[in-house]
Chains A and B, each alone.
Chain A
Amino acid sequence: MEFDLSFLIISVLKITAVLAWIYGLLWVLGHASRAMKAVGVVLAFAVIQLALSVQIGDSAIFNDFDQGLLFQACAMAMVSLGLNLIYGFNGQFSLGQWGFYGIGAYAAADVTYRWTGEDAQGLLVLGIGVLLGGLTIWGVNQFLRRYAGMPVLSAFTLYLMGSIAAWSIAVWLGGALNGLLAPLFGTKDAPGLLSSGPALQVVFFLAVLFAGVFAAEISFLFGLPVLTLGSDYFGIATLGFTIVVNTLMVNSDTILPFPEMKGGRGMIGIPKLTTWFWAFLFLVLVIVIMRNLIHSSTGRAITSVREDETAAKAMGIDVAANKLLAFVIGSFFAGIGGGVYAHFIGFLSPGTFDFLVGFNPLIIVVFGGLGSMSGTIAASFGWIFFLEGLLRVILGQMGTEAPTWRFVLYPIALLLLMLVRPQGLLGRAEWGFLRAPEVQPRAHDEPRPTPVPASK
C-alpha cells in the first residue's frame, strides 16, 4: 500500500482538534457563571457526539477507529490522572497503577458479562463486597484509633482479616440473593425487568463505580504497609504488585475461581456498553473530583508531603494518612478507567495489563509534566491519537514491521524530550478550570474600620 498523504493531514488536523477541544472543555469548566458552565459542558459533549455521528461521504468525521481512540484516550486520561495524584502531587513513585487499572477492568467486565448471561451474582457480590469491605475498613479504623502507635503490620493484619471476612459474607449473601432476582430476568420470549436496556445501562454504571471502589479498597490494603517503604522501594513493590496481578489474570481460570475470564486466552464477549456519553461523564467526573481535591486543604496537605515530609509533619500533617489517601483515590480513578476501557474494547487479555505496558501512564505523566493535570490529560489524548492512531497507520502503510518501528521511534522521541525539557511539556502549568482558584477576599477578611470613639 502506498503512502497516503491526505490521511496524514487529516490525522494531524484531528489531533489538533482534539487537543483544542480539551483546552476548550477545561476553559468552559472554569467559567465563573454556573449557567455558562452547564451550557459549555453540554456543548463540549455535543461537539464530539456530532463528529461521531455526522456522516461525510461514507463515514463519520470521527469514524469507528477514531471513536476507539477517543474512548481509549479517556480511559488513559483517568489512569494517568490517578498516577499524577500519586506521583506528581504526592511524590510516591508508583508503578502499580496498571495493576489497579487491570483490576477495575476485569471486575467491571465480569459484572456486566454475567448480567448479560442473566446472572446477577457478579453485581451483587461486588456491590455487597465493596460496601461491607468499606464498612469493615471504616470499623477497623475506628477500632484502631484507640491504640495509637499500632505497628503498621499489625494494623494491616487486622484490616486484611476484616476484609476477608467481609468478602466471604458478600460472596455468600450474593449467591443467596441471586436466586431471588433470577425470576426478574424473565424468559427468552418474555424478557423481564432486569433484561431491559435501561437496566443494563444502570448495571454498567454501577459496575464501573464498584470496580473503582474495589480497586481503591485493594489499594488501601496494599498501600497501608507498602507506603511505609522509601521512594524507590515503594516503586519496586508496586511494580511487583502489577506483576502479581498480571500473573493472577493469566491464571484466572485455574488458580482464581473465574472460568469466564478464561485466563491467558483472554476474556471475550464483554458487552460493549461504553458510549461517548459514559466516557465523557466519567472523564469529567474524574477531572472535577481531582481538581477539587487538589485545591482543597486536603490537596494542599497531599502536595506538602511531596515537597518535604519533615516540614509537613512539623505542620501537623499526618504524612502516612495523606500518602494513603492519594494512593487510594489514584487507584479509584484507575479502576474507573479500567471499567470504561473494558466495555468499549469488549475483550480483555492479560497481555494488555503487562507491566511493560504499565510504564505508559508513567511516561504520559512525565511527558505532560509532573504535577500538571492539564498536561496529563493533553498528553493522554495526544499519546493515544498519535501513537495508537497516526503512527500505527502511517507505519502500517510503509511496511510490515509497523508495530515494531513504532516502539523504536517513540523511545527516541522520549529521549529527546527528556534531554530538551526534563520537566515535561507543560511543567506545572494548568489550563482553565484546573488552575488554582483566585482567592476572593471574604467580607469578614477585610480590615474592619476602627470604631470611632464616641465623642463626649
Chain B
Amino acid sequence: MAWIGQGFLLLLAAVAVFILGRDLIRDPRLFIQIVISGLQLGFVYALIALGYTMVYGIVKLINFAHGDVFMVGSFVSFYAVTRFQLHVWPSMIFPTLPRGVVVVIGSLTVMLLSMVTCVAMAVTIERVAYKPLRDAPRIAALITAIGVSFFLEFFGALNFVFSPRFIPYQRPFEVVTWYFNDGFHALTEAKAPPEGSITFSNIFVIIVAASVLTQVVLQFLVRRTKIGKAMRATSFDKPTARLMGINVDRVISFTFAVGAAFAGLGGVLYAIAYPSIWSQLGILPGLKAFVAAVLGGIGSIPGAFVGALIMGEVEALTMGYISTPMRDAVAFTVLIIVLLVRPTGIFGEPEKEKA
C-alpha cells in the first residue's frame, strides 16, 4: 500500500514542477533572474550553515546563538566602515595607491576584523556557557544556547549597544551591476538595461566566490590536516578520541571558532547584499541556515552547502511566484517533506540504533 503515500508525494512534486515550468516558459528571463537572487541568498546561508552543521556534528548541540554571532559580525563591519573608515585605510597611509587596490585591501580588512571578533566571541561563549554543561543532559545545553541567543539579541537591542532600530548599512565598496544580453556589459548608472537582459552585481560574484572558497578551505581543513582528522575522530567517538591523545576540548573550541569565522564573513556579506541591519537580524537567517543544514543532512559539510542552495532557491521562487509572506512557511514545508522522505536529510547517514 506504499503507493498511496508515494502517489501523494508525486502529486505534490507534479504541482511544483507544473508551476515552475509554466513560469519558466512564460518568462524565462524573469525566472533566471529569480534563480540568481536565490543563489545569492543560498550562498550566504551556506556560510552560516557550515557553523551549525560542524558544531552539531561534533557536540550534538543546536547552537541557537550562532545566528546572533552572525548578527554581531555584520555590526562589527558596520562600525568598522562608518566609525573608523577601515575600508579605506590603505589610502590614508599610502595616498598614491590606486583606488581598486585600496577597496580590495580595505574590504578584506573589514571582513577579517568581523571574522576575528566573531571567533573571539564564539570561543568565549563556548568556554563560559557550553563547556561546563558538556556532561549535563542535552536539554540543559540547548536551553543554555537559547539563553545565550536571547541575551545577545536583547543586549544588542539596548540603546547604548546597537539600538533596537533598523540601521542603514554603508557598503565598503560600490555596487557594480552587469547585464547579460548578447555578451556581458557593465551597467552605467544613467542607463537601464535593455529589455530581456539578465542583470547581476559584483555582490553576487563576491558572495559566490567567498562561499565556494570557504567550502574548499573547509574540505581541505577537515580531510587533509591533522586538526581536521582530530575533528572527525571527536565527532565519531569522543571518549575514544580522548584516549587516543586528542585534546577534545581544544578541538571543540576550534570547531566553534571555524564556524564563527564563517558566520562573521556571512554577516558582512549578508549586510552588503541586504543593507539594513538590526539586533535581531540573526534570528531568521540563522534559523534558515540551520534548516538548510538539516535539509542537507546535519553533520555533513557538502550537505550544508547543497541544503543552503535549495533553501535559497525555494525562498526566492516562493517570493517570486507565490507570495512574499509565505516564504518561511514554504521553506519549512519543504523541509518537513524532505525529512519524511529521507529522515536524516539528503546527505545524512542513517541514525545509529540505540545499543
Contact = CB atoms under 8 A, between A and B. Distances in A.
Nearest to B333: A244
B154 A408 contact: yes
A187 interface: no
A157 B5 contact: yes
B1 A226 contact: no
B5 A404 contact: no
A153 B8 contact: yes
Interface string B266-296: 0000000000000000010001001100100
Interface in A219-245: 225-226, 228-230, 232-233, 235-237, 239-241, 243-244
Given A152-B5, A244-B333, A412-B151, A419 B325 contact: no
B193 interface: no
A233 B339 CA distance: 8
B31 interface: no
Contacts of A309: 354
Contact of B164 (A151, A236, A359, A404): A404
Interface in B119-146: 129, 132-133, 136-137, 139-141, 143-144, 146
Contact of A248 (B141, B146, B329): B329
Contact of B147 (A152, A370, A414): A414
A115 to B, nearest CB: 30
Interface stretch (B155-163, B203-211, B212-220): B155-163
Given A147-B1, A236-B335, A362 B343 contact: no
A228 B283 CA distance: 28
A150 interface: yes
Q: Is the interface of A mostly helix, strand, loop or mixed?
A: helix
Contacts of A423: 137
A45 B287 CA distance: 43
B326 A247 contact: yes
A154 interface: yes
Interface string B1-41: 11111111100000000000000000000000000000000
Contacts of A157: 4-5, 7-8
A182 interface: no
B62 A232 contact: yes
B148 interface: yes
Nearest to B351: A230
B150 interface: yes
A236 B338 CA distance: 12
A244 B332 contact: yes
A401 interface: yes
A251 B151 contact: no
A354 to B, nearest CB: 10
A160 B340 CA distance: 15
A362 B143 contact: yes
A273 interface: no
Nearest to B355: A310
B146 A359 contact: yes
B140 A418 contact: yes
Contact of A422 (B8, B136, B154): B136
Contacts of A250: 325
Interface in A294-323: 308-310
Given A247-B329, A366-B139, A422-B133, A237 B150 contact: no
A363 interface: yes
B104 to A, nearest CB: 39
Given A244-B332, A366-B143, A407-B151, 9 more contacts: A93-B139, A151-B1, A157-B8, A225-B340, A233-B339, A240-B333, A362-B146, A366-B140, A401-B159
11 contacts: A151-B5, A153-B6, A154-B6, A158-B4, A226-B336, A244-B329, A247-B328, A404-B164, A407-B151, A408-B158, A414-B146
Interface of A: 93, 147, 150-158, 160, 225-226, 228-230, 232-233, 235-237, 239-241, 243-244, 247-248, 250-251, 255, 308-310, 356, 359, 362-363, 366, 370, 401, 404-405, 407-408, 410-412, 414-415, 418-419, 422-423
